[in-house]
Amino acid sequence: MAVGIFDSGLGGLTVLDAVSKRMPDVPFVYLGDSAHAPYGVRDADDVYNLTKAAVERLWDAGCDLVILACNTASAAALRRMQEEGLPQGKRVLGVFVPLIEALTEREWGDNSPPREVDVQHVALFATPATVASRAFQRELAFRAIGVDVEAQACGGVVDAIEEGDEILAEALVRSHVEALMRKMPNPDAAILGCTHYPLMEQHFQAALGAQVTVYSQADLVAKSLANYLERHTNMLGEGKDSLFLTTGDPRAVSDRATQFLRRKITFVAA
């Protein structure tokens, strides 16, 4: 019954925590590529090759469905993987879908022409690679018109989170928010376009102000995945046990993961 969740490091644990709470009976196999994190400063080919290798490892672990809980991987690798073809019975999904569903208030299967939506000015905070890909803007344009998106590449935030330096991460968040608001002083909504960023959500909200609606991915992905699995029960793989895999040092990664989620997490070598 296992479902795979992949992230470049520990950020995807925010998604894992949310989906585990929503679907406690489903085993999840988590793979964090901490040996190669962060992905946000890598080129598209590098991200694709690393993501493909990680997804194949999760298939080997008994997962037929893999969630790319990494916006950089979703932006730079997902479409290419789908276009090149997946093995029969396997599926890979990204994390942009639930965000855009929430932002545009329309179902992903709604193929009607793009239309105007209530939100007009959107601040997008993401890694440099995700910003450079313009994948979020492209997917949004299929469904909405008249939405002004101002993207801010948040260099250094993922590194600080991975290293457990919350003070530095908070300072960087404030700096990036200030930089974006010089370009877009009054955003209606803000997208936290990296699964590491929910760990800093309160700091984003404080810097943006209470009047800005902040869309964080973890709960949106959990809701979307639960709905997907209700419609596609055949995508539950053969794996029986939850498992945490890392390409990094299992002991160090376990310690940081335990700190993030405030419960004991034990990683093993991928």
Tell me the catalytic residues: 70, 194
Is the dihedral angle over the CA atoms 47, 199, 167, 127 positive or is it negative? positive
Pairing of strands 189-193, 28-32: unpaired
CB 144 within 8 A of CB 104: yes
What are the residues facing 31 on neighbouring strands? 6, 245
42 by DSSP, 3-state: which? coil
Rounded Cα distance, 205 and 137, in Å: 22
List the Cα angle 6/54/127 in 5-degree steps: 55
DSSP element (H, E) containing 129: helix 128-133
